Structures are given as structure tokens and as C-alpha cells.
Structure 1
Amino acid sequence: MKANDRKVLIGIDTGVNTGFAVAVDSGNGGELRKVESLSITQAMSGVTELINLHGKENLKLFIEDARLRTWFTGGREKAQGVGSVKRDAQIWEDWCKEQELNYLMVHPKANATKTKAISFKKITGWAGRTNEHARDAAMLVFGRFARF
């Protein structure tokens, strides 16, 4: 299977620290290739690089849509952070439409968020270092090839 013929899933956990994960179809299911935390512009550049390598038709983005979250704890600062993350979700959706990308905005309840590092390694087999945002992004794409 040529690199540019492979199906690629990209997970995005919106926020100041954007979780960015890439899973590539290895012929026998998906394999995580990147699990990291970037700025929003670095993540968009990463998507663009993947488009150039694999083509738009072989990519699908799964983006956590914080606009759908209705439960919050914390004070005013937390509420401001939530507003920022919601705005980032809107930016991602607008950008995907402008780029004519295949994407899905995912309700936060539909993702296995806040997975601890040890559990994440056991579930995914990913041995590299991660943070909460990167793990949340990876969980958006892990195991999804059966449904792509």
C-alpha cells in the first residue's frame, strides 16, 4: 500500500494546547503515528502536510466539539477558558469547510477523555510521552478504522 493511498484519521482536541493525533491504516487496522500537543496553527500545518502526502480524499478529521459541552465546574477563569475552547472548535469547523475536508465534530461525551497515561499505554500500545490533550486527541481516532 503506497503512503499516499493510505487512509489517515486525525484527532483534534481543541484548546490553547491543541491535542493532535494521527492514525494511519496499516492494512490490518489503524496504527497511531503521532500523539502530541501543538498550537492551533502548528496543528493546521500538520493537517496540511498530511493532505500533501496522502490527499484530501484519504483524510478524515475527528474534532472534539466543546460547543456541545453543557457541564462545567470552576469559577470565572474556567468559564473564560471554556469560551476559548468553544471558539477554537468553531475555528476548526470553519477551516475544515474552507479547505473542503472530510471532518466530524464529536460531542465530548462521545470520546474517552481524561485517560491517564498508564491506561492510555495499555489501551493503545503507544509508548511515547503524552499529555492529557494529546491523549484526548488520540482517543478520538483510536479504533475508528472499522467505521471509516
Structure 2
Amino acid sequence: MIYVGIDTGVNTGFAVWDSKQRSLLQVCSLPIHKAMERVRSLYDEYKAGIGDKVIVRVEDPRQRTWFGTERMSREMERKKLQGVGSVKRDASIWDDYLKELGVEYEMVAPKRNVTKLTQERFKALTGWQKQTNEHGRDGAMLVYGF
């Protein structure tokens, strides 16, 4: 099976895990529309002949209940909450898109994912040696090991 991990946000974390090969095939970050194009392309490619199933796992901040704004200035709190609203909107967009596409998917609560790994820790854990950023690593951790 092919698993796709999506970390929602302005820089959408995107990762692909092949459960047969037991390896990451891709770890990067993309604009949301490019990530959606890649999901559709993978879904179409695997549906058309390889026989593998594509499953998408999306981090869903709508399932988060705490945002750590209690020790911030009003301005910083306002900006943080705007960002939270933005990623919640992105999660809704992904939910609608994947439902319409017909791909199997799961909306994952942030507390059910390992996040914010350093590049070094990520390399040691996964064996992925190419350059990554925080968003790509967070997307990868949604699917790593499935």
C-alpha cells in the first residue's frame, strides 16, 4: 500500500510511504494545490494498474483543543489564532477533496502524531538522508512505519 501524509498549513507537508518496500519515497513541502495534484496523480496511477491502494492521512487541527495562547500579548494571540483558523480551514478543504476524490483517508488528531523532529533525529529514525523541513517531516511521521 501507498500511504500519503499531509501536514496542513501554508507550507503543506507531503510524504509518501511504500508499505511493501518499507521506505519513504518522498518527503517535501508544497503549496496546497500542488499537494492535491500529487495525491490525485498517485491515486490515478495506483488505481489504474499497479493494484496497490493509496491511503491518505491528514493532520487535522480541528481535533486539537489547546493552542498555548495564555502567555502572549493580545497581538501575538490574535496572530496565532488566525494561523490556527487557517490550518483548520485547510483540513476542511482536504476532508472535502479526499471525500470527493474517493480515496481512502483518515483525519488524524495532532496528539496522535510525532511532530517537530529535528533533521538529525528524523534521519536517525527513518533513514531518510535528503534535506527536509519541519512540514515535510511532520507529514512523513503521519505515515512512517505503516
Q: TM-score, normalised by structure 2?
A: 0.89
* Aligned-residue RMSD, C-alpha: 1.3
Counterpart in 2 of 1:24? 18
Q: Secondary structure at the match of 2:139?
A: helix
Q: Secondary structure at the match of 2:142?
A: helix
Say if 2:115 is the partner of 1:120. Answer: no
Aligned mate of 1:66, from 54, 61, 65: 61
Alignment of 1:15-54 (within 5 A): 15-27=9-21, 30-54=22-46
Say if 2:71 is the partner of 1:79. Answer: no
> After TM superposition, which residue ranges in structure 1, 4 or more long, deviate above 3 angstroms?
none
Rounded Cα–Cα distance in structure 1 between residues aligned with 2:133 and 2:66? 23
Rounded Cα–Cα distance in structure 2 between residues aligned with 1:139 and 1:101? 20
Rounded Cα–Cα distance in structure 1 between residues aligned with 2:42 and 2:78? 38
One-letter amino acid of the structure 1 residue matched with residue 36 of structure 2 = M
**How far did 1:25 drift?**
2.8
**How far did 1:53 drift?**
1.6
- Unaligned ranges ≥5, structure 2: 70-76
**How far did 1:10 drift?**
0.2
Rounded Cα–Cα distance in structure 1 between residues aligned with 2:100 and 2:32? 16
**How far did 1:70 drift?**
1.3
Q: Secondary structure at the match of 2:9?
A: coil
Rounded Cα–Cα distance in structure 1 between residues aligned with 2:124 and 2:40? 30
**How far did 1:73 drift?**
2.5
Rounded Cα–Cα distance in structure 1 between residues aligned with 2:111 and 2:38? 26
Q: Deviations over 1:31-72 (max 9, x none)?
A: 101000001000000111111221186100000001011111
Question: When the two structures are aligned, how many residues end up with a matched partner?
Answer: 136
Rounded Cα–Cα distance in structure 2 between residues aligned with 1:129 and 1:60? 25
Counterpart in 2 of 1:134? 136
Q: Secondary structure at the match of 1:63?
A: strand
Q: TM-score, normalised by structure 1?
A: 0.88
